[in-house]
Amino acid sequence: MKQIETWPPRLKVGGQGTAPEWQVHGGLYLLLAVAGALRAGPALLGWEGVIGMMALGAALALARQWAPGSRLLLLALVQAAASALVAMSPGAAGRHWAALASSQAQILLMVTLALMAFLAFALALSPRLAGLHRAGWRCLQGSVVVGLGALVLRWLESYQLGAHLGHVPISNLYEVMVLFVVVCGLLQLKLLEPSGLRGAAPLLSLVSVAACAFLVWYAMYRGADQIQPLVPALDSYWMKLHVPANFVGYGSFCLAAMLGLARLLADRPRLRAHLPAPATLEMAMHRLIGLGFVFFTLATILGSLWAAEAWGGYWSWDPKETWALIVWLNYAAWLHMRLVKGYGGRLIAWWALLGLLVTLFAFLGVNMYLAGLHSYGSL
């Protein structure tokens, strides 16, 4: 099967006498890091500086290991910078364009592109409309770029509340849901790169569509799109580490569940021709759950360290902590049965799909129905 062409287009580097593309990307990240350090000044002393160095290291690793993802990140940073400049334009015309360039407008565009990607992938299952798969790919890339840019822009906009009130936009359910859509988009792009999972693209995109539907509802009926000062309980450097790691885990588990559904549907004769091979689905499911398990474990450890600093104990059997442990045990057992016992087929597919229910309750259900120390994240 023909591999999808790379987009954004490669930089014209790497020839004789020029640097490889990842080095060019790395140089750009270093320049951005130096500019940010000069802007932040003494605020980067201590743990904030350590987190900044970790973010820089992650960006450099991305540039080295996955150039297409690095291009999307650079495009998102350029988009955020351009939108911020538009927002500072004077006059009535400037105010008009500033509204279109706001983070909320960018989030709505992300939602639109994610929906368009799903529709294009679904229509591309028809042989007559197979060319739409490329359009879906472009829309998915666009949603990732716009979503990342919106998060950066929302971070900048938070400083309008006050010089010391700006914060990374992962402090409430609305903001982390945007992060969730971006994470799922990036994971889906990485999975679809070899084109072996092309037939599962509509099911994978359902995760982002569901998250986008929640975003629209949450903004329209709860007014959650408004930027608010950071809750004192979240004013910690631990949040910048714990939350992103958590949502890489959540995103991986949700996409793995969709692959589990695809694996079950692949046994049906009428659908078999439209879906990837069962072995391909099981391997991708395994990779996603393994990745999610690593990040969810890291997030749980970081959360325990944060709890020790904030509440004086590493574990308090709070409902959120208890359900996080249930999620961890569920996927630890899944990996054990897969790696040690060698189980495969419909069993692990059903298990991954039912694991989605456990994950969703830990993510949203606890916030909705159970009160505890994490009640600041409630609906």
d(CA 244, CA 183): 9
The angle at the Cα of 223, spanning 218 to 227, to the nearest 5 degrees, equals: 110
State the pLDDT at residue 208.
95
More confident residue, 171 or 203: 203
Say if CB 178 and CB 44 are below 8 A apart.
no
Mean pLDDT of 220-249: 86
State the pLDDT at residue 91.
56
Residue 176, in any domain of the structure: yes
Query: Do 83 and 194 fall into the same domain?
Result: yes
Percent of the chain, pLDDT > 90? Answer: 41
d(CA 16, CA 33): 28
Query: Do 221 and 278 fall into the same domain?
Result: no
Average pLDDT, the chain: 85
Query: Do 237 and 223 fall into the same domain?
Result: no
Say if CB 319 and CB 364 are below 8 A apart.
no
Residue 47, in any domain of the structure: no
| Predicted confidence (pLDDT) at residue 266 exceeds the cutoff of 50 | yes
State the pLDDT at residue 31.
87
d(CA 324, CA 305): 15
Mean pLDDT of 91-105: 69
- pLDDT band, residue 298 (cuts 50/70/90): very high
State the pLDDT at residue 265.
92
- Count CA within 13 A, CB hemisphere, residue 203: 23
With b for 16 or more beta-carbon neighbours within 10 A and e for fewer, the 228-248 pattern comes to: eebeebbeebbbbbbbbbbbb
Residue 44, in any domain of the structure: no
The angle at the Cα of 303, spanning 294 to 309, to the nearest 5 degrees, equals: 145
Mean pLDDT of 210-225: 89
Query: Do 238 and 223 fall into the same domain?
Result: no
Amino acid at 119: L
Query: Do 212 and 239 fall into the same domain?
Result: no
Query: Do 314 and 217 fall into the same domain?
Result: no
More confident residue, 317 or 298: 298
- pLDDT band, residue 324 (cuts 50/70/90): very high
d(CA 323, CA 153): 33
- Residue 146's alpha-carbon distances to 116, 151, 152, in angstroms, are 14, 9, 10
Residue 74, in any domain of the structure: yes
State the pLDDT at residue 354.
93
| Predicted confidence (pLDDT) at residue 3 exceeds the cutoff of 50 | no
Amino acid at 46: G
State the pLDDT at residue 330.
96
Most confidently modeled range among 44-58, 323-337, 341-355 = 323-337
Query: Do 261 and 151 fall into the same domain?
Result: no
More confident residue, 8 or 41: 41
Query: Do 66 and 214 fall into the same domain?
Result: yes
CB within 8 A of 244, min separation 6: which ones? 170, 179
Say if CB 145 and CB 114 are below 8 A apart.
no
Which of the listed residues 172, 198, 230 is the one where a domain comes to its end?
230
| Predicted confidence (pLDDT) at residue 343 exceeds the cutoff of 70 | yes
| Predicted confidence (pLDDT) at residue 297 exceeds the cutoff of 50 | yes
Residue 156, in any domain of the structure: yes
Query: Do 172 and 263 fall into the same domain?
Result: no
- Residue 215's alpha-carbon distances to 111, 206, 373, in angstroms, are 8, 14, 24
State the pLDDT at residue 359.
93
More confident residue, 256 or 164: 256
- Residue 305's alpha-carbon distances to 235, 237, 241, 257, 320, in angstroms, are 15, 11, 11, 30, 15
d(CA 152, CA 139): 20
Q: Which residues span the domain enclosing 337?
A: 231-379
How many beta carbons lie within 10 A of that of residue 146, not counting itself?
27
Instruction: Please name which of 109, 115, 116, 108 lies closest in space to residue 135, comparing C-alpha atoms.
Output: 116
Mean pLDDT of 48-70: 84
d(CA 165, CA 163): 6
Query: Do 277 and 190 fall into the same domain?
Result: no
**Number of domains making up the chain:** 2
Query: Do 170 and 258 fall into the same domain?
Result: no
| Predicted confidence (pLDDT) at residue 379 exceeds the cutoff of 70 | no
Q: What percent helix, strand, coil does the chain show, rounded to 5? A: 75, 0, 25
State the pLDDT at residue 47.
67
State the pLDDT at residue 177.
94
Residue 46, in any domain of the structure: no
Which of the listed residues 230, 265, 296 is the one where a domain comes to its end?
230
Residue 127, in any domain of the structure: yes
**Residue that the structure tokens 């350029």 belong to:** 78
Cα diameter, the chain: 68
Residue 351, in any domain of the structure: yes
Say if CB 112 and CB 123 are below 8 A apart.
no
- pLDDT band, residue 11 (cuts 50/70/90): very low
More confident residue, 283 or 224: 283
Which of the listed residues 230, 250, 268 is the one where a domain comes to its end?
230
Query: Do 320 and 218 fall into the same domain?
Result: no
